[in-house]
Chain A
Amino acid sequence: MSHSSDHERKRILHASQLAKRVTSGERELVILESLTLDVDCGESVAIVGSSGAGKSTLLGLLAGLDAPSSGELQMFGQSLSDLDEDGRAALRAGRVGFVFQNFQLLPTLTALENVMLPLELSPRQDVAAKSRQWLERVGLGERLDHLPKQLSGGEQQRVAVARAFVADPDLVFADEPTGNLDEATGSRIIDLLFDLNRESGTTLILVTHDMALATRCDRCLRLEGGALTAIERRRGVEA
Chain B
Amino acid sequence: MKLIALSLKGLRRDLRAADVRALFVALALAVAATTMIGFFLDRLDRGLTRQAGQLLGGDLVLEQGRAFDDELRQELRRAGLELSDQVDLVSMVSQGDAFQPAGLKVVDDHYPLYGKVRVDRGSGVEGVDHGPAPGSAWIAPRLAQLLDAGIGDRVQVGALSLTITGLIDREPDQQAGFAGLTPRIMLNIQDLEATELVRPGSRIEYELLAAGPPAAIDGLAARLEALRDAGVEIRDVRVDRPSLGRSLDRAQKYLSLAGLAAVLLAGVAVAMATRRYVDRHLDTAALLRCFGASQRQLGQLFAWQLAWLGVVAAAVGALLGLAGQAVLLALLTRFLPLELPPPGGMPWLMGVLTALAVLVGFAGPTLLRLKRVSALKVLRRELDPIPAAGWLVVAFASLVFGALLWLYSGDPVLALGILLGGLVALVVLWGVGQAMLQLLLAVLARLPQGGQKGRAWQLGGRQLARRRTASLGQLLAFSVTFAAMAIIALVRGDLLTTWQAQLPVDTPNYFAINIQPQERAGVETLIEDAADSASGLYPMVRGRLTAIDGEPPAQRVPEESRNDGALRRDLNLTWRAALPEGNRITEGRWFDTDVASGDGTVPISVEEELAGRLGLSLGDEMTFTIGSDSITGRITSLRHLDWESFQPNFFIIFPPGALEGFGHSYITSFHLPDGGNQMLGEMVQRYPGVSVLNVEALLEQVRGILGQVTRAIEFVLGFVLLAGVSVLYAALTASRPARAHEGALLRVFGAGNRTLSRMQLAEFALLGLVSGLLGAALAEAAALGIYGWLGLVPRMHWLMWGIMPLLGAALVGGVGFLLSRGARRQAPMASLRLLGET
Q: A residues engaging B (CB < 8 A)?
A: 56, 60, 63, 65-67, 85-87, 89-96, 98, 100-102, 104, 106-110, 113, 117-118, 120-125, 149, 153, 167
Contact (Cβ within 8 A) A121 B746: yes
B755 CB contacts on chain A under 8 angstroms? 121
A93 CB contacts on chain B under 8 angstroms? 749-751
Describe A's contact surface by its main secondary structure.
loop
Within 8 A of A (CB), among B458-480: 458-459, 462, 466-470
State in angstroms the CA–CA spacing of A85 and B831 once bound together.
Answer: 14
State in angstroms the CA–CA spacing of A63 and B744 once bound together.
Answer: 13
B738 CB contacts on chain A under 8 angstroms? 106-108
Q: Report the minimal beta-carbon distance from A140 to chain B, rounded to whole angstroms.
A: 18
Are A66 and B751 also in contact (CB < 8 A) when A104-B745, A108-B469 are? no
Contact with A along B821-838 (1 / 0, CB 8 A): 000000111101101100
A63 CB contacts on chain B under 8 angstroms? 748
Within 8 A of A (CB), among B208-240: none
State in angstroms the CA–CA spacing of A90 and B750 once bound together.
Answer: 5
State in angstroms the CA–CA spacing of A153 and B746 once bound together.
Answer: 22
Pick the residue among B750, B751, B835 that contacts A96 (CB under 8 A): B750
State in angstroms the CA–CA spacing of A141 and B59 once bound together.
Answer: 83
A60 CB contacts on chain B under 8 angstroms? 829
8 extra interface residue pairs, beta carbon distance < 8 Å, beyond A93-B751, A117-B749, A121-B751: A89-B747, A90-B752, A91-B750, A93-B750, A104-B745, A104-B835, A106-B738, A108-B470
Are A86 and B466 also in contact (CB < 8 A) when A106-B741, A106-B742, A121-B455 are? no
What are 28 A-B contacts defined by CB distance under 8 Å?
A65-B827, A65-B828, A65-B832, A66-B830, A67-B827, A86-B753, A86-B754, A87-B752, A89-B752, A89-B753, A91-B750, A92-B749, A93-B749, A98-B749, A101-B836, A104-B832, A108-B466, A108-B467, A108-B738, A117-B745, A118-B750, A120-B459, A121-B459, A121-B746, A121-B751, A122-B750, A124-B449, A149-B382
Describe B's contact surface by its main secondary structure.
helix
In this complex, how many residues of chain B approach chain A with their Cβ under 8 Å: the count is 34
Contact with A along B747-773 (1 / 0, CB 8 A): 111111111000000000000000000
A95 CB contacts on chain B under 8 angstroms? 750
**Which residue from chain B places its CB closest to the CB of A67 in the assembled complex?**
B827
State in angstroms the CA–CA spacing of A125 and B455 once bound together.
Answer: 12
Q: Report the minimal beta-carbon distance from B620 to chain A, rounded to whole angstroms.
A: 66
B741 CB contacts on chain A under 8 angstroms? 104, 106
Q: Report the minimal beta-carbon distance from A212 to chain B, rounded to whole angstroms.
A: 24
A167 CB contacts on chain B under 8 angstroms? 749
Q: Report the minimal beta-carbon distance from B637 to chain A, rounded to whole angstroms.
A: 61
Pick the residue among A67, A106, A120, A149 that contacts B745 (CB under 8 A): A106
State in angstroms the CA–CA spacing of A107 and B739 once bound together.
Answer: 11
State in angstroms the CA–CA spacing of A85 and B829 once bound together.
Answer: 11
State in angstroms the CA–CA spacing of A90 and B99 once bound together.
Answer: 102
**Which residue from chain A places its CB closest to the CB of B828 in the assembled complex?**
A65
Q: Report the minimal beta-carbon distance from A156 to chain B, rounded to whole angstroms.
A: 9
Pick the residue among A94, A125, A153 that contacts B750 (CB under 8 A): A94
* Chain A to chain B: the 5 pairs with minimum beta-carbon distance, closest first: A93-B750, A86-B752, A118-B749, A92-B750, A66-B829
A149 CB contacts on chain B under 8 angstroms? 382
Pick the residue among B455, B462, B753, B836 that contacts A85 (CB under 8 A): B753
Q: Report the minimal beta-carbon distance from B380 to chain A, rounded to whole angstroms.
A: 9
